[in-house]
Amino acid sequence: KRLGAIVSATDVRSATKEQVESLGGTFVMVESEESGDAAGGYAKEMSDEYKRAQAALVAEHIKKQDIVITTALIPGRPAPELVSEEMVKTMKPGSVLVDLAVERGGNCPLSEAGKRVQKHGVLLIGDVNVAAQLSVDASALYAKNLLNFITPLIDKETKALAIDWEDEIITGTCLTKDGQVVHPSFREGGN
């Protein structure tokens, strides 16, 4: 989103709506009384009626997307099919579908584990063990975030510590000051 992307996401779990919106995305959801929340933050198996409604919703939205990333998994079961071949056919030429569930059968039947293939003008990425590919980039991102966090703490001219106690990043990350717990979440009775 911060790089200019228009982001939308869907999930059967209600908690995901707040998470998506807190990052500036649009949450696309099936209008239903049925809850997809299961123990431990996992999604539960949904009814056939819900699945049909979700497929129709995804089919309508997928036509407009440049990139689609699927991640749906159900513990101990094959990945559910979320994006059919018919849906892929409606995607814009040059679109990309990244199937992060490909190792468990995939959320799209056209995805192939360990391969990047073109089908109906869409690039389907079926990379396996994606987490292992991210360590270098994740480390660089973490280092950059740390640098961006500590740089404002130092006065550019004197090179001395100069903390702006009113800065929202400081107030949001400072736990203690002058021997007192100052962060609301950590004070006695905090959330």
Question: Start-end ranges of CATH 3.40.50.720 in the chain?
Answer: 8-132
Cα 72 to Cα 10, 16, 32, 68, 173, distances in angstroms: 10, 13, 19, 12, 33
Any idea what DSSP says for residue 183?
S
Percent of the chain with pLDDT over 90: 54
User: What is the reported pLDDT for 98?
Assistant: 96
In the three-class reduction of DSSP (H, G, I as helix; E, B as strand; rest coil), residue 8 is classed as strand
CB 41 within 8 A of CB 65: no
Predicted TM-score (pTM) above 0.75: no
pLDDT at 165: 93
CB 83 within 8 A of CB 111: no
Which pLDDT band, with edges at 50, 70 and 90, does 184 fall under? confident
Q: What is the DSSP letter of 151?
A: G
Residue 41 pLDDT > 70, yes or no?
no
> Where is pLDDT greater, at 181 or 29?
181
96-99 vs 67-70, strand pairing mode: parallel
Q: Which of 35-44, 107-116, 168-177 has the lowest mean pLDDT?
A: 35-44
pLDDT at 39 (0 to 100): 62
Q: Does domain 8-132 have CATH number 3.40.50.2300?
A: no
| pLDDT digits 0-9 by tens, 76-85 | 889 999 999 9
Residues 95 and 170: their CA atoms lie apart, in Å, by 41
- Residue 180 has a pLDDT of 92
